[in-house]
Chain A
């Protein structure tokens, strides 16, 4: 016990003297050396404490962030897989669409607002008069909407909607003997009336006799015609008849721009025509 006490006394004496020396002579070389030595010895613990303390302090937030990132990563991977699958499907569909459009000789880029419809019924008794399409008032089809057919990738006037039912409509073809349209004859833009003849040909009428109507002239819908949008191809003049002695006009046969015999799909252009425009009922009266 006494030895231990002596040792304790010596120890406290030693360290107390050392401390007092450091306190008494803070600017001496020995104090300065001890201070520097202590600082450099203990500095690493502070240095690495600071370094890893930063990580330790951010551990909870980082852990949550890691979990969220992992979850988000899984969701994104799943989404990417689905997107890749959809892209592949879309590419296949686009390719199929292009192939079908090419084979059907139709073009999807039309400058009018409307909807595509299929020809679902044609009556042999009225082959050049009308047919039915599979779209009706449920698809916002209205009476007198313009019906276009596509041939060789080019839109041509086929007729107009004549009767509308919820799920189908009846189209009166331009080749119908009761159908007509105001047209413009290229290149001068001379306006005339094109009429159906009940056959595969059309007839252009009321062409002034002094006009230079020639075979091969292209006929389009006239800007002055209310029923159809302007500039739609109607057909091409195939034969010009000489003026009858009792008439002031000349007539011509026109090949329709659209062959109704091969028409399987049409584009119905929504016209939003005024209500007072005479419809089929008015025509019937």
Chain B
């Protein structure tokens, strides 16, 4: 049962991000809910499941874009692993650490994805506007998504 709920949550996260970008994007800017979901899952889930969530959410993000397929999957998988390492030393459940973590990991993910894109395709996929603003939006979105995931975890014993 929980696997079905997780599957539903996974699809919902991707669809919600897609819907938000379609309807509520302001000046082409929107919080990256897939990133927020990957980070929240990484904080809440065990290491294997966290990496799996990162990978599959990344795959969803790859599917939404027309760039290199597998780039986000690798990025979010590594992010999940990094969070697994970091959360052994820091309390990632607190709001402040989530804000800081979301901000820093957003930039790190963007830089890593840019590096991958430059290596594999020799082009820069991220605009400056996105690079400068999206991490802040992600920092706002992550605590919300985290609370949602946390509530679902407690209620349905998922993640």
Contacts and interface: CB of A to CB of B under 8 A. Distances in A.
Given A12-B77, A38-B63, A7 B14 contact: no
A49 B70 contact: no
A31 B69 contact: yes
B90 interface: no
B58 A53 contact: no
A20 B19 contact: no
Given A11-B48, A15-B52, A53-B23, A35 B15 contact: no
B15 A4 contact: no
A31 B55 CA distance: 15
A7 B69 contact: no
Interface stretch (A39-47, A80-88, A188-196, A227-235): A39-47
A23 B113 CA distance: 12
A34 B69 CA distance: 9
A272 interface: no
A33 to B, nearest CB: 11
A49 B19 contact: yes
B47 A11 contact: yes
Contacts of A93: none
A199 interface: no
A168 to B, nearest CB: 77
Contact of B81 (A8, A23, A35, A50): A8
Contacts of A10: 48
Contacts of B48: 7-8, 10-11
A22 B84 CA distance: 24
A19 interface: yes
A11 B83 CA distance: 14
Interface in B103-126: 116, 120
B137 interface: no
Nearest to A31: B69
Q: What's the interface size class on A, roughly? A: 20 to 34
B59 interface: yes
Q: What's the interface size class on B, roughly? A: 20 to 34
B52 A11 contact: yes
A23 B22 contact: no
A92 interface: no
A24 B71 CA distance: 10
A57 B116 CA distance: 37
B23 A57 contact: yes
B6 interface: no
A18 interface: yes
A153 interface: no
A48 B19 CA distance: 11
A59 interface: no
A53 B22 CA distance: 9
Nearest to B119: A23
Contact of A15 (B54, B63, B120): B54
12 contacts: A4-B46, A4-B47, A11-B52, A15-B52, A15-B77, A19-B71, A19-B77, A22-B70, A31-B69, A34-B69, A42-B63, A53-B19
Interface of A: 4-5, 7-8, 10-12, 15-16, 18-24, 26, 31, 34-35, 38-39, 42, 45-46, 48-50, 53, 57
Q: Which 8 A-B pairs have CB atoms at the shortest separation, nearest pair first? A: A22-B70, A8-B47, A19-B74, A15-B55, A49-B15, A12-B81, A11-B51, A11-B48
